[in-house]
Amino acid sequence: MPDPASGKLKFIGCEILTREACRLAAEAPGRIDLEFLRKGLHDLETPDMVARIQQAVDAVEEADGYDAILLGYARCNDGLAGVQARTVPLVLPRAHDCITLFFGSREAYREYFDAHPGTYYMTTGWVERNDFSNGDYSRPAYGRQGVMGRLGLAESYEEMVARYGPDNADYIRQTLGDWTRNYSNMLYIEMGVCDEKPFIARARAEADERDWTFECRKGDWSLLEKLFFGQWDDDIVIVRPGQRIVARNDRDVLDAED
């Protein structure tokens, strides 16, 4: 494989990483072309998420001249398990979910996760890419295509009232649709990509509205820098042409196999 630090790379990732990926692509010694997929792929059933990522990978042809395709995804919903490298290697971080990328390592995220159960995580991407059109950014990005949509939980409260009546709508929201009942804390991870005061204020207001505790802490660029700058050590998976991504129920999280 050519030198990853100076080659031509393609990045395909979730749009919540837009600001971080753009900054890293600008700082990288080689050329990195960016492509973002709409957030919320993990709301789809696993085969659907795998298919959409595979479609994006397959659209990158050998003739495009890329040395590797960087994937800005983690093990979320096992939506990478089964994705194959065709003619161009795939490179991705070993991570349980995207929040790991903002903590800088699997270990740092696991330590915080274990010590702070019931935490909802926010970054610039999660704030600005969420749907505030109805004052409720919990609505899934892929609507009725996703698991929540198939359960009838993708509608706004007003849509539920129109379809089921107010009593039934209240019951659905209280029993099936109250995603917030598993959370009591909100953590905003500040990556320093811009003036994040407005993002922090919006996150804090949301936490206050839900009567959650709120915390803000500095993020860690280490894992993202390894991915973008070609520092592909044990924290990074390289999937060579003909191999596929597999999930591991151990420290590796993700791996490659023939």
**d(C-alpha 7, C-alpha 107), whole Å:** 30
Buried b (16+ CB within 10 A) or exposed e, 73-107: bbbbbbbbbbbbbeebbbbbbbbebbbbbbbbbbe
Each residue's pLDDT tens digit, 165-216:
777 666 666 665 566 778 999 999 999 999 999 999 999 999 999 999 999 9
State yes or no: pLDDT of 13 exceeds 90: yes
Q: Tell me the mean pLDDT in the region 147-164.
A: 59
Please give the pLDDT value at position 154.
54
89 vs 162, higher pLDDT = 89
Please give the pLDDT value at position 114.
96
Please give the pLDDT value at position 137.
43
Contacts of 90 (CB under 8 A, 6+ apart): 57, 68, 69, 71, 83, 237, 238, 239, 245
Q: 82: alpha, beta or left, given left = phi > 0 and alpha = psi -120 to 50?
A: left
**d(C-alpha 205, C-alpha 50), whole Å:** 35
Please give the pLDDT value at position 197.
97
Residue whose token pair is 């909100």? 186
Helix axis angle, 166-175 to 157-164, nearest 10°:
130
What band does 5 get if pLDDT is binned at 50, 70 and 90? low
State yes or no: pLDDT of 146 exceeds 60: no
Please give the pLDDT value at position 133.
43
Please give the pLDDT value at position 6.
67
State yes or no: pLDDT of 2 exceeds 60: no
Please give the pLDDT value at position 144.
45
State yes or no: pLDDT of 150 exceeds 90: no
State yes or no: pLDDT of 63 exceeds 70: yes
**d(C-alpha 189, C-alpha 218), whole Å:** 6
Please give the pLDDT value at position 166.
75
Query: So where are the chain's domains?
Result: 8-101+222-257, 112-218
What band does 76 get if pLDDT is binned at 50, 70 and 90? confident
Q: Which own/partner contact pairs does 136-144 have at CB distance under 8 Å and 24+ positions apart?
A: 138/179, 138/180, 140/40, 140/43, 141/38, 141/39, 141/40, 141/43, 142/38, 142/40, 142/41, 142/43, 142/44
| Amino acid letter, 89 | P
What band does 7 get if pLDDT is binned at 50, 70 and 90? confident
Each residue's pLDDT tens digit, 86-145:
999 999 999 999 999 999 999 999 999 999 999 999 999 999 987 544 444 444 454 444
Please give the pLDDT value at position 178.
60
Please give the pLDDT value at position 147.
43
